[in-house]
Structure 1
Amino acid sequence: MLLRLPTSVSEAQECMAEGAVPIGGATLIWATWQRDGFPEHAMSLRDLPEANAVEREALGSAVVLHRIDDRVPEVLRRAAATVGTGAVRRTATVGGNIVGSTLRCLLPAALVLGARAVVLEPDSVYETDLAEVLAKGHLLLSLRWRDPIASGYRKLPGDAGGPPPLVVAAAVHAADDGGTLLRVAVRDGYEVLTESAGCDAGSEQVLEDLRRTAIGALHPTAWGVVRQQVTEVVPAAGFDT
């Protein structure tokens, strides 16, 4: 297998046009390749500057999870810190976790940030929503979002070999109309639900509004974690009951 390490977007596009397979951190596909055979050409974005950003409002797809620190919002930092073991976090990448994994531990955090995806194609670079990236398996170049006022993340313990553990992410944003908006995302099993509610009136009103959504219909354990996140994040943004 020939591994290509492009250092520019145009070089990465040339690799794609020539059929190079993106590998990310290879934590998810290595065993498959050992069983089924390695591709002739592979490509890693680890030397591409655009894929290595760690900023308050941007995160590159080639960033390994243990590099995600307080330069990014709390919700994303805490999500990365809960993925696998330390050894996994030193090799697994943002792009691999969101696009290549069925668990997608970073996805709820990205959704509550309202993140947009910058996608790399052989003949273009463009921005789109995460739903399109997941549906079509695009090559993710980076994530971009607006810095939230406050955010939080909770992941319950899981059983080895069992279903993915429950995850609840939340973030408060300044809304375009001058108010504030709370986004909540819940990963329950392999399904991720997202809802939002205005939070100027405080935590209890947010919870009442969320009760009328699909998140409000979740089982008691999930709702209990949602309540905890709302009552922590909304006051942290300066709004209280």
Structure 2
Amino acid sequence: MLLRLPTSVSEAQECLTEGAVPVGGATLVWATWQRDGFPEQAMSLREVPEARVVDREALGAAVLLNQIDERLPEVLRRAAATIGTGAVRRAATVGGNLVGSTLRCLLPAAYVLDARAVVLAVDGTYETDLAEVVAKRPLLLGLRWREPVVSGYRKLAGEAGGPPPLVVACAVHAEEGGRHRLRVAVRDGYEVLSDDTTCAVGADVDQVLRALRGTTLGALPATAWDVVHEQVTDLLARATDR
């Protein structure tokens, strides 16, 4: 197998045109390739500058999970820190987790940041929503978002061999006119539900939770709502202190 390492977006497009298979840290595909056979060409974006960005409002797809640090919102940092072992986080990439993984541990965090995906295709780059990333699994170049006022993340302990552990991510965003919006995303099993509601800083927590129950999140089981209640209460308290 030939591993190609383009150093620009245009070179990466050429690799795609010539049939190179995108690969992140190879933590998810290596066993499959060993079983089914290796492709003739693979391509990593780790030398493409646009895929290596780590910024307050942007994250490249080739960034390793252990490189997600204090420059990024808390919800992303906490999500990355709970993925796999230290060895996995030193090899796995953002793009591999969001596109190649069935668990997509970073997806709830990306949803509450209201992130947009920058995708690389044969004919160029374009921006799209996370729904397309989930449905079509394109070649992700990076994520962009607007920095939240405050954010949080909770992942429950899972059982070995059991279903994926419950994840609750949330973030408060400032809007025009002094308003705020609370975004919440929950991974229950393999499905991620995400919705939002307006909220005022210092708002009554029960009132905000009632508004959330009127969204698609209302279908969540009681056990999930206990965690949502805890996280939203903490987040609104922290937003008031900002």
| TM-score w.r.t. length of structure 1 | 0.97
Which of 206, 221, 224 pairs up with 1:222? 224
Shift of 1:195: 1.3
Query: C-alpha separation between the residues in 2 aligned to 1:159 and 1:226?
Result: 21
Shift of 1:238: 1.3
Q: SS of 2:234's equivalent?
A: helix
Partner of 1:205: 207
Shift of 1:144: 0.2
Shift of 1:185: 0.2
Query: C-alpha separation between the residues in 2 aligned to 1:139 and 1:210?
Result: 33
Query: C-alpha separation between the residues in 1 aligned to 2:32 and 2:15?
Result: 22
CA contact (8 A) 2:196 2:215 kept: no
Shift of 1:175: 1.9
Unmatched segments (≥5 aa) in structure 1: none
Partner of 1:81: 81
Q: SS of 2:162's equivalent?
A: coil
Shift of 1:198: 1.2
More moved, 211-220 vs 41-50: 211-220
Partner of 1:60: 60
Q: SS of 2:240's equivalent?
A: coil
Cα deviation, 1:178-234, whole Å, max 9, x if unaligned, reads 300000000000111111111103322211111223323322210010001100111
Shift of 1:34: 0.1
CA contact (8 A) 1:199 1:205 kept: no
Q: SS of 2:63's equivalent?
A: coil
CA contact (8 A) 2:113 2:145 kept: yes
Give aligned pairs, total.
Answer: 240
Query: C-alpha separation between the residues in 2 aligned to 1:96 and 1:72?
Result: 19
Partner of 1:123: 123
Query: C-alpha separation between the residues in 2 aligned to 1:87 and 1:205?
Result: 43
Q: Following superposition of structure 1 onto structure 2, how do residues 1-16 of structure 1 map, counting pairs within 5 Å?
A: 1-16=1-16
Partner of 2:22: 22
Query: C-alpha separation between the residues in 2 aligned to 1:177 and 1:32?
Result: 52
Query: C-alpha separation between the residues in 1 aligned to 2:121 and 2:215?
Result: 36
Q: Following superposition of structure 1 onto structure 2, how do residues 1-241 of structure 1 map, counting pairs within 5 Å?
A: 1-200=1-200, 201-238=203-240
Of all paired residues, the percent bearing the same amino acid is 72
CA contact (8 A) 2:119 2:128 kept: yes
Q: SS of 2:181's equivalent?
A: strand
Q: SS of 2:117's equivalent?
A: strand
Query: C-alpha separation between the residues in 1 aligned to 2:149 and 2:226?
Result: 23
More moved, 37-46 vs 197-206: 197-206
Unmatched segments (≥5 aa) in structure 2: none
Shift of 1:177: 4.5
Q: SS of 1:224's equivalent?
A: helix
The ranges of structure 1 where at least 4 consecutive aligned residues each deviate by more than 6 angstroms after the TM superposition are none
Specify the code of the residue in structure 2 equivalent to 1:190. Answer: Y
Q: SS of 1:237's equivalent?
A: helix
CA contact (8 A) 1:64 1:92 kept: yes
Query: C-alpha separation between the residues in 1 aligned to 2:146 and 2:96?
Result: 22
Q: SS of 2:32's equivalent?
A: helix
- Superposition CA RMSD, Å: 1.3
